[in-house]
Amino acid sequence: MPDADNQPLLRLDRLSKRFGDCLAVDGLSLEVAPGEVYGLIGPNGSGKTTTVKMITGLYRPTAGHVLIGGIDLSAEPERAKRLLGYIPDEPFVYEKMTAREFLHLVGELYVVAEPERTRRVNELLDLYALDALADGYVESYSRGNRQKLAILASLLHAPRLLIVDEPIVGLDPESAIKTRDLLKGFAAKGGSVLVCTHTLPFAEQVCHRVGLLKEGRLVQEGGLPALRRRAGLPAASLEALYLHFTNKHSA
């Protein structure tokens, strides 16, 4: 479990995003500590992906701040993003490159020295046993293998914070288990992970704490034992807890 005395690697301070008349994210504040996997839980349309895109600098917040390792993303975007690895919900990879070429390109963009880059590429390809495919063009890859490549690319520059949007969509069960163990191992080594998902069994297995999101607002957060105590439901699943707190919030 994370050390409560450590400075959070991610802090959202009253973060909001408006699209015209729609307030997609409404005053969201949360922290993710070193050694912690934090799950942002909610259905489609709850604001998860909008939040992710603000954290990664793809959207500019309407209000509030994103701090990564204490660095304000809006003030020092390049410095903040060097600490960040991003796994989007739709894997983006260049189809006319091989997996090996794509990983080397990502390493060059993050200014990873060539000897270290080669070592990291070989090491990462081993994680999902992609070695046999590594020199074939990405256009021939399945959706699952593209997802694996996107995960590996996010790790290449040794980030301290991972932002993950729906990590196991398109993955076979064995790869989903490997991804779960990869995220838990990343946190165990002192990294921080924010996972946005509506796959609640996966979140139960991997997250130290979860934040329950509804219509862009954080309804409740905490570890499963704490949430069960607050709900008075000692054996409840995360799905049951989400329904309990969000229905209560609506009332």
Contacts of 249 (CB under 8 A, 6+ apart): 214, 217, 219, 220
Q: Mean pLDDT over all residues of the chain?
A: 91
Q: How far is CA 3 from the centre of its chain?
A: 20
The confidence score (pLDDT) of residue 2 equals 42
The residue among 27 and 250 whose pLDDT is bigger is 27
Report the pLDDT averaged over residues 201-211: 93
Measured at the CA of 159, the angle between CA 154 and CA 160, to 5 degrees, comes to: 135
Closest CA to 199 of 174, 180, 182, 218: 180
Contact 143, 116 (CB under 8 A): no
What are the domain boundaries of the chain?
Answer: 10-92+161-250
pLDDT at 4 over 60: no
pLDDT tens digits, one per residue of 27-52? 999 999 999 999 999 888 889 999 99
Contact 153, 106 (CB under 8 A): yes
Three-class DSSP category at 132: helix
Task: State the Cα–Cα distance between residues 180 and 37, nearest whole angstrom.
Answer: 11
Report the pLDDT averaged over residues 193-217: 92
pLDDT tens digits, one per residue of 94-138? 999 999 999 999 999 999 999 999 999 999 999 898 888 999 999
Task: State the Cα–Cα distance between residues 99 and 133, nearest whole angstrom.
Answer: 7
pTM assigned to the model: 0.91
Fold of 10-92+161-250: Rossmann fold (3.40.50)
What count of other Cβ atoms lies within 10 Å of the Cβ of residue 101?
16
